[in-house]
Chains A and B, each alone.
Chain A
């Protein structure tokens, strides 16, 4: 139990997926212009990463390890995640149109989010079981949402700031991301 608690805090804050592992940077920079869309993206990422961690954990345990093919996990996980996102999209479109509408365009975008694959592989590397891996996935994604929503809030605030020409656009965003990473570094003492 204590172990799980450590994993949740570690995944969400200390080893924040964006700010200390540098995974999932493209949605972090791309979809963080408005708090509203950032929250939508965060929700979709939580949904997909949790599911993907769970399914990849099962595949690893019941197919790859018995067949001694652990070295294939990158390729297999890519296939599984891509198919999973497709399937989830179809499923939601049919049976939960309201959730489908609110996640909207973000779902298919997540197929190419490296954080999803990264977490599935990290679960294997750290030797997490299916349950632990899923919890790790869930809270890593929560950490992603925290980071992207904070980022969107900051970007809304600095939108009209008078930057020098060279710092306009992505440059200022990357500066902000760097400062946020330093701030999150402060969490590293708590576990």
Chain B
């Protein structure tokens, strides 16, 4: 009987000692954290995706409090989170439209030609290193092995029929896929953008025609017909300035290869 009591007392004693010790240590070794930092951390999404360029959400919170980062630095939370953090910090968030990633290629299996049959490692950066920059005849297009799919923390990008496609609703614009794509095909576009050139081939029109049915041949028709002069053709590829685009859709209508999207 005494054995049990001694054992109970000892364990209880150890427990109480540890409790008191940790309590005192917690007070003594408390690191002073700016209360705003904790508040900001609560507002941030907490994915720790690193899309802001800081190590995780706590890193960004610390940087915002120090004034090193703007309040709307978090690409995932976007404007609503920026506004909330702005309230905490007492500054107005600069308004910016929500952005989403976009893959500038629609050379699907049936439209783009292949030079040979690739059976190597199923990874875009690996495929890019083999002769000809992958099996696809077009050296600029989507390789379709889904390096971007693996990089996406939000399951917002999928390879459909050999070409990666971003799910606009799920995309949080963290930029991971942009870094992962060896062909640099992915870029941010405004959420509301409807006219985007879905090709990145910088070759002359004739060469493009030979490798892909859905390639920009740099015919300048969109550039000439755009009423708001938002389109420029550079390096044999059309580019739409989204800040000038009025979403009229003329370019998509005029494009002979139908590579300008009408979403």
Between A and B, how many residue pairs show CB distances below 8 Å? 44
A72 touches B25 (CB 8 A): no
B14 touches A79 (CB 8 A): yes
Q: Is B126 located at the chain interface by the 8 A CB criterion?
A: yes
When distances are taken between beta carbons in the complex, the residues of chain A under 8 Å from B6 are 67, 69
CB-CB under 8 A for A72 and B121, given A83-B22, A90-B29: no
Secondary structure dominating the interface of A: helix
When distances are taken between beta carbons in the complex, the residues of chain B under 8 Å from A95 are 29
When distances are taken between beta carbons in the complex, the residues of chain A under 8 Å from B14 are 76, 79-80
A87-133 interface with B by 8 A CB criterion = 87, 90-91, 93-95
B122 touches A72 (CB 8 A): no
When distances are taken between beta carbons in the complex, the residues of chain B under 8 Å from A2 are none
- Determine the distance from Cα of A120 to Cα of B175 in the docked complex, in whole angstroms: 46
B29 touches A93 (CB 8 A): yes
- Determine the distance from Cα of A75 to Cα of B7 in the docked complex, in whole angstroms: 11
A90 touches B122 (CB 8 A): no
- Please count how many residues in chain A sit with their CB below 8 Å of the partner chain's CB atoms: 19
A83 touches B21 (CB 8 A): yes
CB-CB under 8 A for A90 and B25, given A79-B14, A160-B122, A160-B123: yes
Among B10, B21, B121, B122, which residue has its beta carbon within 8 angstroms of that of A87?
A: B21
When distances are taken between beta carbons in the complex, the residues of chain B under 8 Å from A94 are 29-31
Chain A interfacial positions (CB closer than 8 Å to B): 63, 67, 69, 72, 75-76, 79-80, 83, 86-87, 90-91, 93-95, 160-162
